[in-house]
Chains A and B, each alone.
Chain A
Amino acid sequence: MIEVNQLTKVFDLTKKQRKELATSDKQTTAVDGISFECKPGRIFSLLGPNGAGKTTTLRILATIFQPSQGTVSICGINTLEQPQLAKRKIGFLTGSTGLYARLTPNELIKYFADLYGVSASDFEKRKEYLFTLLNMHDFQDKRIGKLSTGMKQKVSICRTMIHDPEVVIFDEPTSGLDVITAKNIIQLIQDCKDQGKTVIFSSHIMSEVDLLCDDLAIIHKGKIVYSGEMNAFRAEMQAQNLTAEFIRIIESSNK
């Protein structure tokens, strides 16, 4: 379960950043008082154009960033009060996730299991389960740098799931991947749902959203401009298709 209440994130801008953004403002609001809830066994999609505040929101959920205002609760744990405890419940995967190229999948998975405090017996069981599920045994001792993109993606999935998280956060997980590799991620998201985990993923690909999500929120300029169940979204749609409806909502929020 993820509960987000009145979440705001303001970043201070350095001189360099002000120059890059061509602004004289000393601060920028990336997320502006948003609230939503993600339930176990359901897939929540955070939709929005580039720069809408999706990644910032997910980074706050993953406790990489601290909120300027508002609260986040992961499985009933306040992330500001007990960040380390909350982190144990979270699996985090982004499309731009890199892996340590000089390590082998075995070494990398063990490293992350140790960081998450997974016991030796649980580690062996989880590793065996995931390596078999993802068919990773053949390349488990090869350096990651020498693996194909598909193999690397499997290692990333394994790394995300090795501590059996209750909440899984995906930030544009399929961006830059070919359809075959992206299929592994889609499968993983569906598996997480089937296992009763809480799943939140950000995307701007409507076909993925249509395929996977149960609930969605559309975020634009740091504010939520639509929130509800996917079925209701489809029923209330004014445009001809999902992409057109998404664009219509974004454009109408600009007015």
Chain B
Amino acid sequence: MSNDVAIVGAGVSRFGKRDDVSYHELFSEAAHEAISGLENVSPDTFEGLWVSAAMPELTVEQAHVGNLGAQILGITPKIVSRVEMACSSGSSSIRNAWAAIKSGMIDTAIVVGVEKMNNNPAMANKGLLYVPDVTFEGIHGITAYSGFALAAKQHMEKYGTTREQLSSVAVKNHSNGAKNPKAQFHSMGEISLEKAMNARMVSEPLNLFDCSPLTDGAAAVVLTRGNKAKEFTDQPIWIKGAGQRVEPSIGVSNMSSITDWKAMRSAVNDAFSMANIKPSDIDVAETHDCFTIAEIIEYEMLGLAKKGEGGKFIEDGESSLSGSTPINTSGGLKAKGHPIGATGVAQIVEITEQLRGQSGDRQVRDAEIGVTHNLSGFATHHVVHVLST
């Protein structure tokens, strides 16, 4: 037991365009929610701090945000770092905290993911353009959306995935987001399939409703050694499995396939083996729906659908709130929003709340096993966690 890792605190800010808060305040909003429900907490509690932040230099002109986090929390941790792995910075931070506790170095850590993008959308977009190999691929005009458009085109051609199936992912995630008061598009409510299908084209076949937005948001998680969990809460959630893999490729040139993500298959296999679960055991999952096609491919890589049948999985309603495996109950990156550094942490928060039965209108009944999947680049890097009650 003493080597197990528990999540004891989890909090997330409201996502969206947050002109009402500074970077520091956004960080504080999530950290407060993660810490406030815990017993026996003082500044001495947090021996480890990871701040997940993809582009604060560009959007808020602030570097050294690991140290900034220590100031905000008033702590002197034994191990502290800022983590930047683009869109999967958050899950990478969780993994670092998990490893530090596993190693015996520390007992308790806090991970905070934060990104403020809407005060400077041009710089936020620039930050995203710096994610691929700029010298050898960026120079040819690749962007995140056109990279996933390449995957969508190939998946449609090879497996017959349809326009309706892509848009159905957006419709489902907006429906879930409408039930999440903290989602960026909460007030937009549900959207029709027609609206999603006929949106302005961004990079064919992906239109605006196939893409996640620019978001301001933060999320925080407190993790501790198993035998200390009860000191903080009577509702610990356990990290049962963890896996991380990266392709030897920062773009497409050394990737095994654009539509079959070997690194994700390996990360899933590592995490599921460690947790001793199979795909059918998953009660609820948050997966990285930066673009609708990504979620469809993720059904396949998670083993929920056979290769090429991800489109059918959404069409059959399997991933909806009332389906066999509800996916992205928070609204996902698509409707909850995608504050780059916060996203992977926010996924852990959503699953923690689901397993604790705290998800309100979007609660999955009797959820006991939940999975998170967070990726970066053109799906070259993946982190998977298995959580349980």
Do A and B interact? Answer: no
B→A interface (CB under 8 Å): none
A→B interface (CB under 8 Å): none
